[in-house]
Amino acid sequence: MGEDLGNMAQGILAGLNEAIAHAKDEPNTVRTTFHECADAKAIREKLGMSQSEFCKTYGIPLNTLQNWEQGRNNPDRTASAYLWAISELPRQISEAHTRRQNETFDGTGALAF
């Protein structure tokens, strides 16, 4: 059967066989990458904040936080790093966010000096 398949089809078949081996926990060459996601709900609750208060304080869209907390999405690496920073330095991050919100911008969105 493999002899009558073109190179592309053989590549696809090989990939499917690797995926099957990986799913069965058999030896394979599949490369898997994992990253740990921050637990947004645990961080927010640790700070004793409501969802809306947390979002306003740290500039996170409410629907984004709700999606993270309800498991519909996970924070990516950058968002996880921001959440971990909030967990470690909540007051400093809040103050930095407030300063940034109060800065004056020119008409192009660039910071005016």
Share of the chain above pLDDT 90, in %: 55
Flag whether pLDDT at 92 surpasses 60. yes
Highest mean pLDDT among 14-23, 77-86, 94-103, 104-113: 77-86
Q: What are the pLDDT digits (tens) for 33-66?
A: 777 899 999 999 999 999 999 999 999 999 999 9
**Inter-residue contact 1 to 10 (CB < 8 Å):** no
**Inter-residue contact 43 to 83 (CB < 8 Å):** yes
Phi and psi angles of residue 28, each rounded to the nearest 5 degrees, phi first:
-160, 175
Residue 43's CB is within 10 A of a number of other CB atoms, namely 18
Flag whether pLDDT at 1 surpasses 90. no
28 band by pLDDT with thresholds 50, 70 and 90: confident
